[in-house]
Amino acid sequence: MINKYLFLFTLGPVQSFIAQARKTQDLYAGSQLLSELIKTAIDKVGPDNVIFPYVKGNNLYTEIESLPNRFIAEINKSESELAQFGQDVEQAVKDRFELIADEIFNDLVKPTDKNFRVLYKK
């Protein structure tokens, strides 16, 4: 039997993003990363199912720069599907995080014999 359930998704701990920031730019980057990951989770759940923050029927949430680290959605699933649904949302966020990390690290210059120099010698 399909019932309506409230689905609360929280991305955290946020404290680690704040505590490690040394500059305002670090805070901004951490906030952008969290917002991007929450957008991924909202996409997986479906924006029309989200109760808070209000994004129902509005794809403009993808243009919003900052979203909270949690959202509440109403989902229609059977009790046997609930755990798998939560795991699917979690996996989508993990996959997006790995993709972002790969993009960043692939853009870095990797040390080779030509562009690597020893900065310290005994």
Please say if the pLDDT value at position 109 is more than 70: no
pLDDT value at residue 82: 92
Binning pLDDT at 50, 70 and 90, where does residue 67 land? confident
What is each CA distance from 76 to 3, 46, 49, 56, 83, in whole angstroms? 6, 12, 9, 16, 13
Compute the distance between CA of residue 77 and CA of residue 18 in angstroms, rounded to an integer.
36
Mean pLDDT of 42-69: 80
Mean pLDDT of 69-90: 94
What distance separates the 2 farthest-apart alpha carbons in the chain? 72
Q: What digits encode the pLDDT tens for the residues 86-106?
A: 999 999 999 999 999 888 878
Given its phi and psi angles, is residue 108 left (phi above 0), alpha (psi -120 to 50 degrees) or beta? beta
* 8 membership: H or E segment, kind and range: strand 2-10
Triad 44, 106, 9: Cα angle to 5°: 20
Compute the distance between CA of residue 41 and CA of residue 68 in angstroms, rounded to an integer.
12
Q: What is the pTM of this model?
A: 0.78
pLDDT value at residue 57: 63
Binning pLDDT at 50, 70 and 90, where does residue 2 land? confident
